[in-house]
A and B are shown apart, each in its own frame.
Chain A
Amino acid sequence: MITIQNLKKSFRTEEVETLALNSVNLKVEDGEFVAIMGPSGCGKSTLLNIIGMLDNPTEGNYNFAGNEVSGLKESQRTQLRKGNLGFVFQSFNLIDELTVFENVELPLIYLKMNKSERKQKVRAVLERMKIAHREKHFPQQLSGGQQQRVAISRAVVTNPKLILADEPTGNLDSKNGIEVMNLLTELNQEGTTIVMVTHSDRDSHYAHRVINLFDGQIVTESQNRAIGAMV
């Protein structure tokens, strides 16, 4: 699904140029669950943002499901992203002014899906995530775990090929964290590819493969034997 070759990303300010990613090569197969780990500032999130087409690399190639992404304009990236990618953030990033239902519905609106179909899909995903009884609530009325479940609902409502999760349990207690990881595992088992950035060793054990970044480079790659060992 993802082929990254010789990817570089540098940030330039007036005086300094910082190399955030340096010659990264990475392949993610369909249905894989990959965890990216590393210390703060190693380039994990930069890599995730490029995979998520929120940012363009400075150099190198990035192929997503047969499409070359590097060098695409913002509008073209938006088009490719729509319906193919789902995002889960550490701080949930729900829109405070929209209800649970409306937050989950939003990606479908951008896909220009008709109203009845949207309603059906949102209801189904909320049922599945066991949050349907809160559909009329606003984000501030929910617990952190519930908010993250809404965020995951929003990420999966379009049936994306790939879910990108940026420290999805970072703001949650361990009980809610485990629940979220179980949900992601379930989605992965149903065929959704997942790339997750995490600081947590425990969370990384849910992945098939763990990639370690350091100073913008992949330093180690390891396969997990016992998937879901911590459940």
Chain B
Amino acid sequence: MLRNYLKISFRNLWKNKGYSFLNIFGLAIGITCASLILLWVEDEVSFDQIFPKKDLVYYVPTNQNYEGEWRTFYSTPGPLAKVLKDEIPEIVGSAITHSTNLLFTNGDKGINRRGRYTDADFLKMFSLEFVEGSAENAFSRPEAIVLTQKTAAELFGENTKVLNKPIRVDNKENYIITGVVKDLPQNVTFRFEWLVPFERFAEQEGMEWLAGFGNNFADTFVELAPGVDFNAVDAKVREMLPSKTEDADTYAFLHAMEDWHLRSSFKNGKKAGGRIGYVHLFAIIALVILLIACINFMNLATARSEKRANEVGVRKVLGSGKKSLISQFIAEALITATFATILSILLLVVLIPQFNILIEKQLELRLLDATHSITLLGITLICGLLAGWYPAFYLSSFKPVEVLKGVRAKIGGAAIIRKGLVVAQFTVSIVFIISTIIVYQQLQHIKSRDLGYDKENLIKMPVNGSMIENFLPIKQDMIASGMIENVALTNSNILSDGNNGSGLEWQGGTDTEDVLISFRFITPNFFETTGMKTIEGRGFSQDARKDTTNVLISESFAKLMGDGSPLGKNVLRYGETFTVIGVVNDFVYGDLYGTSDPVMYFNNPDNAFNMYVKTKAGFAFDKTLIAMEGVMKKHNPAFPFEYEFVDEAFNAKFKGERLIGNLFQIFALLAIIISCLGLFGLSAYTAEQRRKEIGVRKVLGSSVSNIVQLLSKDFMRLVLIAIAIAGPLAWWAMQNWLESFAYRIEINPWVFAAAGFVAICIALVTVSFQAIKAAIANPVKSLRTE
């Protein structure tokens, strides 16, 4: 029996090649799309799953209260890790870590890599696999350094034993390699290329600063003993900081490893999702795309039912029961789905590399991996069953007496369902079109936001070696090149939060201790370099010694000082009094969608981490960079020339939104293609069914355009219904999405009109192809064949 089903299915597919193509290709697009999304979802949910102690290790963020609102920070005071382990018995391991870049040199090879200063417990918590050395001995000496295999190979070559070899760090001291660990896979949240005992960092930075509970700067990790009550331990962790500082406005808490990647957003101190929202969204989108591909199959199968009706009748007369026919049609759908899956595998092989570029991941399809092959098999089964059940039940219910007599199968009910399915397909497509436009608009909106500084032609360089001591000659030589406008130093990245604090007092303000203020330590020409404006008072003197107790403040800070000019007013910061000499315009940093905290500027570049260079417009960047490199080689020869364009770094901040935008574009396109394939097939059948009617109408004097109109009208009505449903649906979904951004667009009604117009045009082109074909056919032929 099965052989008979297979045989007839194959022959049917072969005989109706055009429709088989529409069906298989439509389903293949759906399966490909769903597979790509599932690969992405698999990668997202696999983050940090490789660590054997994933259920025991926790990150420790802090919640801090400013002006009545809890804000969550990924930084803790230095001593927290130690006291947590010492005072809470359920915590069996703890590590303080600080992430930074170091320059490693071996002979003439120099590479800059990011890593962590940390404690020995870190090695055990993450069960790091040592290919050289061991976790027990790796941190037994203060000058120890553990490298990843990749970093070791980059410095010393592949397969070279490096244990106990010295390595030059930042061109000023030697560390000894005490271990090499296996590289971490891409799906790990907290990454590193090297690990160094934290004492080393403490020595460099000074213990006093690190030992207090007042400065939050470190990442803290803890390991719980197996089987302990999480809530009880978390409660103890929450009490720890207030008990040490007598300040209830800052407390630490436990953040589970399984949440690090997917649930890392916090709102008013509480978990507020994160990437998990996108994971859910895209999983639903995968299902929806698969569903609209299955709808095609259902529609084409039921539309073709008249062709199959006779076969159903004959089979029933010859002894086939309903069950047997249902099995036959479902088997046919499964065979189509299998072909679609095979085609989809080929498409995936071609598309995954492009998809990886788009989403900036390293996904791969592993057919030999049980998860992947079973998932594909599952998708095939689901598609086959989903797409096949309705045609199977519909076709198998035909009465042999009627169909064999040529009485038209009762298609009224099926036609309504078919129309409903077309409406559903177009609704999804239009929602995607509207969403794509709105996501794009929001992205453009934020990108064109007035940031308060000019990010164009602005280059950031990390400060290392002797860049601070040699700042003036570097600046002079760069400007002398004729291609550079200005150079400045600052402690912070202009795009990021950075150094901040509360507890300040100032004249004209109330409850000032509660306000979080950002601190920027700069050279006087920082404002000219970045294009910020001094709107009141003056800037810093070029002579740093002259303005040591003077500060500039941002506009939002000035507002906190009450009415009247803030110039000359005093600010008390941790025991030191500063006088306001100028007000600078606000600029956007940190959360680029939100409102940034007030800023206080100091004329002190001693702890600068970044050098900003404003290049002159009109010069090719490669020439400007060569000039800059020449200056840096002269004044900071021991370090490689490293730089980053601020506008590129700014754009990189929207990776998540860009991903959403790109994916929406793809899904909109795919949904439209699939829907059009279905519409194309359906319109072909409608034209075929109405051949006689078209012939009669033409004989009676109807024009080609009348006929095209007649055939297109019904489909257009369906698209209009879809527009009416999709509009409110898309508005609701997008309004929800936009509400997560403080700085956002208002949804404009023309978006809906444009999406509707696009949908109508696409549907019209698809349908009219068949309509015109039917309309220009010779009526004599169609009437004769009747």
Please give the residue numbers on chain A whose beta carbons come within 8 Å of chain B beta carbons, in ascending order: 45, 49, 52, 54-55, 74-75, 78, 81-83, 87, 89, 91, 93-98, 102, 106-107, 109-111, 154
Q: In the complex, what distance in Å separates the CA atom of A55 from the CA atom of B401?
A: 7
Q: Which residues of A contact B405 (CB under 8 A)?
A: 45
Residue of B nearest to A110 (CB): B319
Q: Which residues of B contact A106 (CB under 8 A)?
A: 4, 315, 318
**Pairwise interchain contact B317-A54, C-beta atoms closer than 8 A:** yes
Max chain A C-beta neighbours (<10 A), residue from B310, B317, B320, B401 = B317
Q: A93-B310, A95-B314, A97-B11 are in contact. Are A107 and B319 (CB under 8 A)?
A: yes
Q: In the complex, what distance in Å separates the CA atom of A96 from the CA atom of B318?
A: 15
Q: Which residues of B contact A49 (CB under 8 A)?
A: 401
Does B207 interact with chain A (Cβ within 8 Å)?
no
Q: In the complex, what distance in Å separates the CA atom of A49 from the CA atom of B317?
A: 10
Q: In the complex, what distance in Å separates the CA atom of A151 from the CA atom of B316?
A: 15
Chain B 292-320 interface mask (CB, 8 Å, partner A; 1/0): 00000000000000000011011111111
Q: In the complex, what distance in Å separates the CA atom of A148 from the CA atom of B322?
A: 26
Q: A74-B322, A154-B318 are in contact. Are A109 and B4 (CB under 8 A)?
A: yes
Q: Which residues of A contact B316 (CB under 8 A)?
A: 54, 78
**Pairwise interchain contact B12-A97, C-beta atoms closer than 8 A:** yes
How near does chain B come to A122, taking the closest CB pair, in angstroms?
13
Q: Which of B1-45 contact A (CB under 8 A)?
A: 1, 4, 7-8, 11-12, 15
Q: Which residues of B contact A75 (CB under 8 A)?
A: 321-322
Q: List 24 A-B contacts (CB under 8 A).
A: A54-B317, A54-B401, A74-B322, A75-B321, A78-B321, A81-B319, A82-B319, A83-B319, A87-B317, A91-B406, A94-B314, A95-B311, A95-B314, A96-B311, A97-B8, A97-B12, A98-B11, A106-B315, A107-B318, A109-B4, A110-B319, A110-B320, A110-B324, A154-B318
Q: Which residues of B contact A83 (CB under 8 A)?
A: 319
**Pairwise interchain contact A102-B321, C-beta atoms closer than 8 A:** no
Residue of A nearest to B324 (CB): A110
Residue of A nearest to B317 (CB): A87
Q: In the complex, what distance in Å separates the CA atom of A82 from the CA atom of B315?
A: 11
Q: Which residues of A contact B321 (CB under 8 A)?
A: 75, 78
Residue of A nearest to B15 (CB): A97
Q: In the complex, what distance in Å separates the CA atom of A54 from the CA atom of B404?
A: 11
Q: A93-B310, A102-B7 are in contact. Are A110 and B400 (CB under 8 A)?
A: no
Known: A97-B7, A97-B8, A110-B324. 9 other contacts (CB 8 A): A45-B405, A54-B401, A55-B399, A75-B321, A94-B314, A97-B311, A98-B11, A102-B7, A107-B318
Q: In the complex, what distance in Å separates the CA atom of A49 from the CA atom of B310?
A: 16
Chain B 379-419 interface mask (CB, 8 Å, partner A; 1/0): 00000000000000000000111001110000000000000
Select one of A55, A82, A87, A95 contacting B8, CB under 8 A.
A95
Q: In the complex, what distance in Å separates the CA atom of A91 from the CA atom of B7?
A: 24
Q: Which of B60-117 contact A (CB under 8 A)?
A: none
**Pairwise interchain contact A93-B319, C-beta atoms closer than 8 A:** no
Max chain B C-beta neighbours (<10 A), residue from A49, A83, A96, A97 = A97
Chain B 466-484 interface mask (CB, 8 Å, partner A; 1/0): 0000000000000000000
Residue of A nearest to B4 (CB): A109
How near does chain A come to B401, taking the closest CB pair, in angstroms?
5
Max chain B C-beta neighbours (<10 A), residue from A45, A52, A75, A96 = A96
How near does chain A come to B4, taking the closest CB pair, in angstroms?
6
How near does chain A come to B319, taking the closest CB pair, in angstroms?
4
**Pairwise interchain contact B318-A110, C-beta atoms closer than 8 A:** yes
Q: Which residues of A contact B1 (CB under 8 A)?
A: 109
Chain B 428-442 interface mask (CB, 8 Å, partner A; 1/0): 000000000000000
**Pairwise interchain contact A78-B320, C-beta atoms closer than 8 A:** yes
Q: In the complex, what distance in Å separates the CA atom of A87 from the CA atom of B399?
A: 16
How near does chain A come to B463, taking the closest CB pair, in angstroms?
77
Q: Which residues of B contact A45 (CB under 8 A)?
A: 405
Max chain A C-beta neighbours (<10 A), residue from B1, B12, B317, B318 = B318
Q: A45-B405, A89-B404 are in contact. Are A98 and B324 (CB under 8 A)?
A: no
Q: Which residues of B contact A154 (CB under 8 A)?
A: 318
Q: Which residues of A contact B314 (CB under 8 A)?
A: 93-95
How near does chain B come to A49, taking the closest CB pair, in angstroms?
5
Residue of A nearest to B314 (CB): A93
- Which 10 A-B residue pairings sit nearest by Cβ, starting from the closest? A110-B319, A82-B319, A97-B11, A107-B318, A93-B314, A54-B401, A49-B401, A97-B8, A55-B401, A78-B321
